[in-house]
Amino acid sequence: MDLELYLDLLSQPCRAVYIFAKKNGIPFKMHTMELCKGNHQSREATGPTWGWEAAQGEGLEPASVFFPPFPSTAILIYLSCKYQTADHWYPRDLQARARVHEYLGWHADHIRGTFGVPLWTRVLAPLIGTQVPEEKMERNRIAMDQALQQLEDKFLGDKAFLAGQQVTLADLMALEELIQPVAVGHDLFEGRQRLAAWRGRVEAFLGAELCQEAHGPILSVLELVAKKTFPVPQPEAYPNMLRRIARIP
């Protein structure tokens, strides 16, 4: 087995990579991380003897993939090509592939980061004794509503999926981001029938068992906090977490 994944299923991009590998039967060794503890920054995790950068630097085929410092879209595209997964994920047809890239570029600007704010507001910020200012929360609500409208009108339209009539990497990335606010009580699918139907189609394609396995940790996050079993950030993680909160528009 030449693939190792360092993942935290509370993380949207980590879930996307995990689901993709599992759905496509890609064998991998799972290393569970707790990102809010900051242990992805440890010497053990980032040592020079393994990983994408180390293997590439030696002119070798990458032997493992480490998520937290590496963009998940790059990992998904790499896995699609290396393991020659079904063409619908990352189409060989250039026009179809361009539509996937169009979404992924827009996703990075309008979805990634924006839809994680409710988790920071309800869970992560209180864990370190701070809070997200109300004006930032309101701007975030507006930004999410605008992004959802664009998602429905610009990308989904009357299609079954975001880039066409089959599931692609675009749908997987979008689903994992949109699940995040739902987990903390912000049901952004309510009143959006097209988007709710799209979610149902994507989850049906992935399969109930895999969705439950991957989404279980994030969908139970409020319960974990209430029971005081949610991972407690270590003091050394505070500076990065505070910087993340400060970057919320």
For residue range 191-229, what is the model confidence (pLDDT) as tens digits? 999 999 999 999 999 999 999 999 999 999 999 999 999
Are residues 105 and 208 located together in one domain of the fold?
Answer: yes
Average per-residue pLDDT in the chain?
86
pLDDT for position 210? 98
In a domain, 132, yes or no: yes
Phi/psi at 64 (5° precision) = -155, 160
Are residues 72 and 108 located together in one domain of the fold?
Answer: no
Are residues 57 and 37 located together in one domain of the fold?
Answer: yes
Last residue of a domain, one of 58, 82, 106: 82
Contact between 122 and 222 under an 8 Å Cβ cutoff? The reply is yes
Are residues 167 and 233 located together in one domain of the fold?
Answer: yes
Are residues 217 and 146 located together in one domain of the fold?
Answer: yes
Q: Write the pLDDT tens digit of every residue in 52-78.
A: 433 343 433 444 555 444 578 888 998
pLDDT for position 1? 54
Domain total of the chain: 2
Last residue of a domain, one of 82, 106, 127: 82
Report the side by side order of strands in the sheet with 65-66. Answer: 29-32, 4-7, 65-66
Last residue of a domain, one of 23, 58, 82: 82
Are residues 101 and 67 located together in one domain of the fold?
Answer: no
pTM: 0.88
pLDDT for position 168? 98
In a domain, 204, yes or no: yes
Are residues 43 and 111 located together in one domain of the fold?
Answer: no
CATH number, domain of 184, equals 1.20.1050.10
Are residues 103 and 64 located together in one domain of the fold?
Answer: no
Task: Collect all residues with Cβ–Cβ distance below 8 Å to 31 and sequence separation of at least 6.
Answer: 4, 5, 6, 7
pLDDT for position 98? 98
pLDDT for position 148? 97
* Closest of 14, 36, 42 to residue 245, by C-alpha: 36
Are residues 78 and 126 located together in one domain of the fold?
Answer: no
Are residues 77 and 98 located together in one domain of the fold?
Answer: no
Average pLDDT over residues 146-162: 97
* Closest of 138, 125, 145 to residue 246, by C-alpha: 125
Are residues 71 and 111 located together in one domain of the fold?
Answer: no
Are residues 171 and 209 located together in one domain of the fold?
Answer: yes
Domain range for 55: 4-82
